[in-house]
Amino acid sequence: MKIVVIGGTGLIGSKLVKNLRERGHDLLAAAPTTGVNTITREGLAEALDGADIVVDVANAPVWEDKAVLEFFETSGRNLLAAEAAAGVRHHVALSVVGSERLPDNGYFRAKVAQENLIKASCIPYTILRATQFFEFVGGIAQSGTVGEEIRLSPALFQPIASDDVVAALADVTVAPPVNGTVEVAGPEAMPLDEVVRRFLSATRDTRKVAPDVHARYFGSVLDDQSLTPGKSPRLGAIRFEDWLGQQVSR
Ligand SMILES: NC(=O)c1ccc[n+]([C@@H]2O[C@H](COP(=O)([O-])OP(=O)(O)OC[C@H]3O[C@@H](n4cnc5c(N)ncnc54)[C@H](OP(=O)(O)O)[C@@H]3O)[C@@H](O)[C@H]2O)c1
């Protein structure tokens, strides 16, 4: 079975390619650096030739509101059209838990637009929505930084290790399309400010994190339901403390 991973050189994509190759599938890692570009369509038709399944884990290079929307809309349209022409039987995409709940967040609006294109296409699909990756916690700290201080919401979120995301993604990729959405989250819900505080302390970053219920998360005020999954998500096994311990001992 030929599986093309769009964004196959990224954090999730490269691990997914390795995982599915080890399961015996024929994998193509597609990305601009391997000659496949979903925006310009360079190399796209050739990459999809003979493909049974396409997994889209590409990410936008720029996250400014207009640019990120343009990326996911153009990339999604070009990719789905090329898949229809190539007779692809399953389109899998990685999105974010709670995207539709935070319309003030430009990145989330772009992910909802990507999801809507998939739902409107004629290709059988599975959308896997994941919570924030542990690997993204440093980026969250950066987003809340004003001078020497970091102000972050104490709302609950349920972050997940990228390895657990990849395991779930590999499973849904080789399963039949569900024509719907599946959620995956980390094993524990925790306050956002507290997770960032633990991350900074473990990485010997001396900046202080102040809890602030009004602090915006990429443009949106959060409550305990904003970023947490719905009923019965698939749960990852790796705890944040254990992941953090591994990062700092490397
Ligand atoms: N971060 C989170 O907490 C989180 C949570 C839930 C879901 N997600 C989703 O997870 C997905 C993967 O994220 P990631 O962190 O693995 O991304 P990443 O490490 O930034 O990798 C992005 C990938 O996209 C490729 N790419 C960029 N422009 C492209 C184009 N025009 N055509 C084809 N490929 C292109 C890059 O290729 P090059 O290497 O050639 O540049 C790279 O392989 C994203 O869709 C994101 O929305 C993220």
Q: Give the per-residue pLDDT at 32.
A: 98
What pLDDT digit, counting tens, does each position of 80-115 carry?
A: 999 999 999 999 999 999 999 999 999 999 999 999
pLDDT number for residue 148: 82
CATH number at residue 172: 3.40.50.720
Mutate to test the pocket of ligand 1, among 28, 42, 59, 192 (most ligand atoms within 8 A of CB): 59
pLDDT, residue 103, reads 92
Residue nearest to atom 5 of ligand 1 (CA): 132
pLDDT of residue 114: 98
Residue-level pLDDT at 249: 83
Q: DSSP secondary-structure letter at 228?
A: S
The response to whether residue 11 sits with its C-beta less than 6 Å from ligand 1 reads: yes
What pTM was computed for the model?
0.97
Cα–ligand 1 centroid distance for 210 (angstroms): 30
In this structure, which amino acid lies at residue 191? Answer: P
Full residue range of the structural domain in which residue 131 is found: 2-249
β-bridge pairing 208-211 and 234-235: unpaired
> To test ligand 1's pocket by mutation, which of 40, 56, 57, 132 has the most ligand atoms within 8 angstroms of CB?
57
Instruction: For residue 101, give the DSSP letter.
Output: G
How far apart are the C-alpha atoms of 115 and 144, rounded to whole Å?
27
Low-confidence ranges of the chain (pLDDT < 50): none
pLDDT tens per residue, range 167-178? 999 999 999 999
Q: How many domains does the chain have?
A: 1
Tell me the C-alpha distance between 38 and 68, whole Å.
Answer: 14
185 lines ligand 1 (CB under 6 A): no
> Residue 50 and residue 46: Cα distance in Å, rounded?
9
Phi, psi of 19 (to 5 degrees): -60, -50
